[in-house]
């Protein structure tokens, strides 16, 4: 067989081999040949990084703490105080009784001048809105559109009443907070603005402007507040605020805004309708009046966290500086490698 015939016989084999090859197409990316920056962490770079973190975080922490200190906050727990002394041993029967007087008058003292707007919150303790069964008991489709009025399969056990769908259905809506607050000072009423207390995105996209409450709180077991059936869900802002469930068992929700200043040492009279049942699960109810700052409400945690991290960074930087001064180590000295040292006795 001549050389030409041998070359012709090998061509099909070679082309078949190339066709079935799994070798990836060559590129600098797949072969990891792209240029890369490989920093060498010298003592100077490490010390500089820690110093930078320290001098950046400490001022931020101080500014956050000062802003938090400027927030004026009044907190009043009223769940126990608003139960008559004759009913202290039977709180559950008192709160469930339809004939018992639930009106309670509390007096608050303003510690410092509070500039408007003053935010009014209600705070609940030991209320687990993050419980999986509770969170899932709602129908987002039903809240948005009348087309899905009968979509209540996720709302059990509060889905229908007399075989008619409840709108809004589910445990979250059913347990809507229903305590009310009325404020006055020097025999003059202080109005609470309840407009724009909910997120605009919730009002525009999560709650329909053509969806109205139906068969809500009409059963034998009443969970919380009732809703005005002539107002669409997109305008029921108390409901919208409540339906944004909290992640922790202690939480605050916005009730409204006071749009007048309150002077220092001023006495505020609060008429409370103590309707909401927290006694059955050992919960607490608090009324909160608060101003705000550029970081929000009163919260020292952010400032303390920044100061802690900044302080630790400066401490580590100083430690490395002293170590570098008193016990320097040449960069890249191979004598410090363990495999380059002779074992003892050899």
Residue 344: pLDDT band by 50, 70, 90 thresholds? Answer: low
| pLDDT tens digits for range 287-297 | 999 999 998 99
Inter-axis angle of helices 301-326 and 43-70, nearest 10:
160
* Burial of 233 (C-beta count, 10 Å sphere; 0-12/13-18/19+): buried
pLDDT recorded at residue 13? 47
DSSP string over 51-81: HHHHHHHHHHHHHHHHHHHH--EEEEE-TTT
Quick check: 156 pLDDT over 90? Answer: no
Distance, in Å, from the CA atom of 23 to the CA atom of 110, rounded to the nearest integer, reads 77
| pLDDT tens digits for range 304-342 | 999 999 999 999 999 999 999 998 877 777 776 766 566
Largest CA distance in the chain: 120
Contact call for residues 76 and 286 (beta carbons, < 8 A): yes
Residue 251: pLDDT band by 50, 70, 90 thresholds? Answer: very high
Residue, of 336 and 133, whose pLDDT is higher: 133
pLDDT recorded at residue 181? 97
Contact call for residues 235 and 197 (beta carbons, < 8 A): no
- Alpha helices per DSSP H over 194-332: 200-201, 237-243, 301-326
Q: Model's pTM, two decimal places?
A: 0.81
Rg value, the chain, Cα: 34
Quick check: 35 pLDDT over 90? Answer: no
Residue 20: pLDDT band by 50, 70, 90 thresholds? Answer: confident
Residue 7: pLDDT band by 50, 70, 90 thresholds? Answer: low
Range in 46-50, 154-158, 317-321 with the lowest mean pLDDT: 154-158
Contact call for residues 251 and 127 (beta carbons, < 8 A): yes
Distance, in Å, from the CA atom of 38 to the CA atom of 332, rounded to the nearest integer, reads 15
* Percent above pLDDT 70 for the chain: 91
- Mean of the pLDDT values across residues 266-271? 96
| pLDDT tens digits for range 179-224 | 999 999 998 999 999 999 999 999 999 999 999 999 999 877 788 8
pLDDT recorded at residue 341? 61
User: Which residues, 6+ apart, have CB-to-CB distance to 276 below 8 Å?
Assistant: 177, 178, 179, 224, 285
Residues across the chain: 346
pLDDT recorded at residue 36? 83
User: Which residues, 6+ apart, have CB-to-CB distance to 162 below 8 Å?
Assistant: 215
| Mean pLDDT across the chain | 89
Quick check: 3 pLDDT over 80? Answer: no
Quick check: 4 pLDDT over 70? Answer: no
* Burial of 25 (C-beta count, 10 Å sphere; 0-12/13-18/19+): exposed
| pLDDT tens digits for range 80-96 | 999 998 888 889 889 98
Residue 29: pLDDT band by 50, 70, 90 thresholds? Answer: confident
């Amino acid at each position: 067989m001549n050389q030409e015939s041998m070359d012709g016989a090998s061509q099909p084999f070679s082309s078949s081999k190339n066709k079935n090859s799994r070798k990836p197409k060559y590129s600098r990316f797949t072969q990891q040949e792209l240029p890369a920056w490989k920093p060498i962490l010298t003592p100077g770079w490490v010390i500089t990084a820690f110093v930078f973190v320290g001098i950046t975080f400490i001022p931020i922490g101080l500014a956050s703490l000062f802003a938090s200190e400027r927030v004026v906050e009044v907190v009043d727990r009223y769940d126990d105080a608003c139960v008559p002394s004759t009913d202290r041993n039977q709180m559950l029967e008192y709160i469930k009784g339809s004939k018992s007087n639930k009106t309670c008058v509390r007096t608050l003292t303003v510690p410092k001048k509070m500039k408007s707007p003053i935010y009014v919150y209600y705070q609940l303790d030991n209320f687990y809105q993050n419980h999986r069964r509770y969170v899932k008991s709602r129908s987002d489709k039903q809240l948005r559109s009348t087309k899905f009025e009968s979509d209540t399969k996720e709302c059990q056990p509060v889905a229908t009443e007399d075989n008619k769908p409840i709108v809004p259905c589910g445990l979250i809506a059913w347990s809507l907070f229903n305590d009310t607050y009325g404020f006055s000072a020097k025999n003059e009423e202080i109005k609470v603005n309840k407009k724009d207390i909910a997120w605009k995105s919730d009002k525009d996209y999560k709650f329909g402007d053509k969806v109205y409450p139906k068969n809500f709180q009409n059963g034998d077991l009443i969970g919380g507040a009732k809703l005005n059936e002539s107002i669409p869900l997109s305008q029921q802002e108390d409901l919208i605020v409540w339906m944004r469930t909290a992640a922790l068992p202690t939480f605050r929700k916005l009730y409204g805004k006071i749009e007048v200043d309150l002077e220092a040492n001023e006495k505020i009279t609060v008429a409370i309708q103590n309707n909401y049942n927290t006694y059955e699960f050992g919960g607490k109810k608090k009324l909160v009046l608060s101003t705000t700052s550029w970081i929000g409400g009163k919260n020292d945690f952010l400032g303390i966290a920044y100061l802690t991290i900044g302080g630790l960074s400066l401490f580590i930087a100083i430690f490395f500086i002293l170590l570098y001064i008193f016990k320097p180590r040449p960069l890249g000295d191979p004598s410090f490698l363990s495999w380059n040292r002779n074992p003892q006795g050899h």
